[in-house]
Structures are given as structure tokens and as C-alpha cells.
Amino acid sequence: MVARSAGRSPVWLVAVWGATRLLLLLLVLKVLVFPGPDVTSDVSVIYRDWYEVLRTGAFPSDDVTWQYPPAAAFAILSPALLPFLEYATAFFVLACAVDAAVLALLWRAGRGSGRSPRGAWVWVVGVPLLGPTVYARYDLMVTAVAVAALLAAGRHPRVAGALAAVGALLKVWPALVLVGMEGRRPWVAAAVGGAGLAGLFAVTMPGAFAFLTFQRERGVEVESLGALVFHVARHFGWEGGVLLNYGSMEFLGPHVDTVSTVSMGLSAAAFGWLLLWRVRAARSPGPRSPRSRSPESPPRPPQPQPQPQPQPQPPESSEPRSPESQSPGSRSSRSPSSRSRFAAHTAADAAFVAVLLFTVTSRVISPQYLVWLVGLAAVCRCFRASRMRVPVALVLAASLVTVLEFPFLFADVVASTPLGIALLAVRNGLLVAAALVGARALWRDTVRRGPAGGRPGTSGPGISRAPSADSPATAG
């Protein structure tokens, strides 16, 4: 009873959030010292230098560490909103405020039928697992935009698309939240909004897209999945080494280009799988049929109840109405094979899997990347019907290991000690497992088997499992 009350009451949620965020603020403000290298120097030195350049109306295109899309300028310039505070302090305070805003969104999204407060708890617990790094990078602000886009997808698809476009111009990856959104409206809004904002930056601020060249020339970062090859190879006479390159610690030397190419190939394969999933899921029959219950009815009744309904309801009979008795434009006039398998939780599940796939195949897996996954995991757990329970748990475990490898034991990682290699192997292994389990769950939840895989005596594309408890996403 106590556990259930803690899960539902915002008092416990706010109390735990307040205690953990106070600790994070004390760490980034250096009242308390976290072991390892100083993670706040990115804000107090690098971000501050960029801030001075951006204030002049130009991008720091001569600085190779500037590897971000043009809307990142909003995050770097945001401390100007608090002119009475020193730059780094203002940045940390704003990061905490954005953190609170995400919590409010998740708590509101977790209320109601078919929803769960577990999403808010994932955020409250997951963010501090990453240590002070999470407040010392602007990735938390990007994650907030992606979370807002996913939560808006059901009722406000155009707003969701516009937010996805803003997020993509902040740090590219939020474009992936579109992959599971149904209908054309979010995609059109994203394309129009993104093109307009990008064009505005290109016209008004020189060097808006210089980051594309810098990203192309990056090597293999020491925390990435591909870097494990060189960590082990160093113990067998590999002649390369680790150097600060384009703002991060990267491997340079023989065969680095080969591993980098393989990583990009795996990313291309991940994109291909997502495209295949999107096509197959969009063509698969939807979760509702003439035999299925309406979203408003009680969850999984033991048998259909033949009672007269005062309001229109899906027919209880196993016989679908004839096409002549249905209006061509109505939602019920669609045949089961014309409805997609997208439900309210599908957009969140698909975005989570997409970002997981591109994270594990990337040439760079910086610690702050985990806050992306924690944010998307939290949105997934707002839906009781989400199939991402196990992948979310794996990501939270990976977050805990991440704070051990950076900043706590980062020297061991850079030196490729057995302890450093073990930490990376465990963290990256957890992320790979989460990606594979999540991809399999997403496919099984949304893509029906073809006629050959259907049950005997069925027609069309086969029979899928029982429909989801949540309502279908709004179609565009």
C-alpha cells in the first residue's frame, strides 16, 4: 500500500526530485566535489567562449569543437535570461528549471486511463544516475524538446512536428521522434518548420552549417562501441593512441578509419531497419476491428455484452457492415487491413528504439547521450501498454555504469586498463541489449505476420495479439 501510494502521490515524487537535484546543483556549483575530471569546464570555458561569439551575430565556425546545428545557439545564449548571475551559474539554474518542466510534463502525461506515473519516476531516478555531467551539457534542454514533441503527438500532431524540427536543429537526433508518428501532419509541420528556421539561420548568421564538416572528420571516441576494439588491441601492440580530437578523446592510428566506416555502415543498416519497420507497420492491420472493443469500454471484458448503446459504438456483431452502409469518409469505413498498428504508445516506443539504435552504432557515445535515452524511456513508461519495460530497465542500469566510467574512472578508460575496458563493455553491452530487445518488442507489437504466418482459417495478413489498452494515435 505504501509503495502504491508513493507511486501515485506527487508529494513523494517532488521530494525525491528536490533532494536529488539539490545534490546535482551542489556538485556543478562545486560546493561538493565529484571524483574525476571537472565536468563543468565545458560550460564555464567552452560554452562561455561560444556565447561571446554568438552575441556578435555569427557562429564560431573557426572553432572545430563547434559541432552542433544552428539552433544550439539558443541553448548557449540562454544564460542571458538571467543576467544577474554569472554565465555558468545561470546555465546550471536553467538546466534545473528545464528538468523541473520535463517532470511536470511527464507527471501530467502519466495521469488518466491507460497511463502510469512510472514515467515521471524514471525521469526522477534516471537523471541523477548520470551525475553532474547531466547539468553541465545542453543535452537536457534538447531532451525536453523531444519529450514535449512525443507527448504532443496524439492530440496536436502539427505541434509535435514543429517541436521535432526545433529539436533537430538543436542536436539532430530529435528528428527520430517522428519515426513512429502517424499521419502526414507532423511530418509536414517538421519539414516546413525546419526548413524555415534553417533558412533563417543561413541568411542571418554566417557559418550556420559549418558543423557538418567537423562532424564528418571525427574519429572513434574512446567510449563508443567500436572503441572497444582498440582498447583491447592496445594490449596486443596496436600502434595508435588516444588524443583530444574535435573536443573529445578519440582513438587515432591504424585501422581507425575502418572501424569508423563500419560504424557508419551499421548506422545505415539501422536506418534501413527503421524504414522497413515503418512501411510494414503502416501496412499492417490496426489494433481495432469490428470484433474488438472500443477504446472507451472497460479493459478486456470477459465477453461482449449485448446491450443497447445510447451513443454510437463499434458493432458487437462478428459480421462487419457492408461498404454500402458506411460513409466513405468515416473512420469505421476503413477495412481492418487499411488501419495501421500505431497506438498511442507507438510513437514513444519507436522513438526510443530509434535513438537506441543510432546511439549504439555511433562513433561517439558521450555520457550526456544517456539523458536522451532516459527522457524517451520516461515517455514510454507513461503508457501502461508500452512494450519497453525491459529496455528501459537496461538503460537505467547503463546510466549507473556510465557515471562510473565518466567522470569517476575516466582515467582508466583513457588508459585502456582492464577496469576501464570492463566498465565500457558492461555499459555498451547493456545499451546493445536494450536496442535489440526494444527493436524486437516494437516489431512484434506493431507488425502482423503475413498470410503464411497467420493462424489456420484466417484471411488477410494474419492474426495479431490482443489490441493495446491505450487508444490509437491521432491520424493525420
Tens digits of residue pLDDT in 216-274: 667 899 999 999 999 999 999 999 999 998 788 999 999 999 999 999 999 999 999 99
Q: What is the pLDDT of residue 434?
A: 98
What CA–CA distance (Å, rounded) separates 282 from 470?
18
pLDDT tens by residue, 401-429: 999 999 999 999 999 999 999 999 999 99
Are 422 and 154 within 8 A, CB to CB?
Answer: no
Cα 282 to Cα 76, 339, 340, distances in angstroms: 39, 8, 5
Question: Which residues does residue 343 pair with via DSSP β-bridges, in sequence order?
Answer: 472
User: Residue 148 and residue 240: Cα distance in Å, rounded?
Assistant: 43
Closest CA to 135 of 106, 102, 169, 173: 102
For 295-344, the pLDDT digits (tens) are 334 445 555 555 555 555 544 444 444 333 343 333 333 444 444 458 88
**CA 138, CA 135: separation in Å to the nearest integer?**
7
Positive or negative CA dihedral for 397, 403, 409, 413? positive
Report pLDDT for 304. 54
Give me the pLDDT at residue 208, please.
84
Mean pLDDT of 450-454: 44
Q: Which stretch of 33-37, 169-173, 457-461 has the lowest confidence by average pLDDT?
A: 457-461
What confidence score (pLDDT) does residue 454 get?
Answer: 43
Chain-wide mean pLDDT for the chain?
85
Question: How far, CA to CA in Å, does 55 sit from each of 202, 247, 428?
Answer: 16, 22, 39
| Contact by Cβ (8 Å): 351, 398 | no
What cell numbers appear for 101 in the block? 518542466
62 pLDDT above the threshold of 90 = no
- The helix or strand, by DSSP H or E, that contains position 238, with its residue range, turns out to be none
Identity (one letter) of the amino acid at 87? Y
Share of the chain above pLDDT 70, in %: 79
DSSP letter, residue 224: S
Question: What are 290-295's contacts with CB under 8 Å, separation 24+?
Answer: 290/314, 290/315, 290/317, 290/318, 290/319, 290/320, 290/321, 290/336, 291/318, 292/467, 293/467, 295/470, 295/471, 295/472
pLDDT reported for residue 215: 62
Strand pairing class (220-221; 248-252): antiparallel
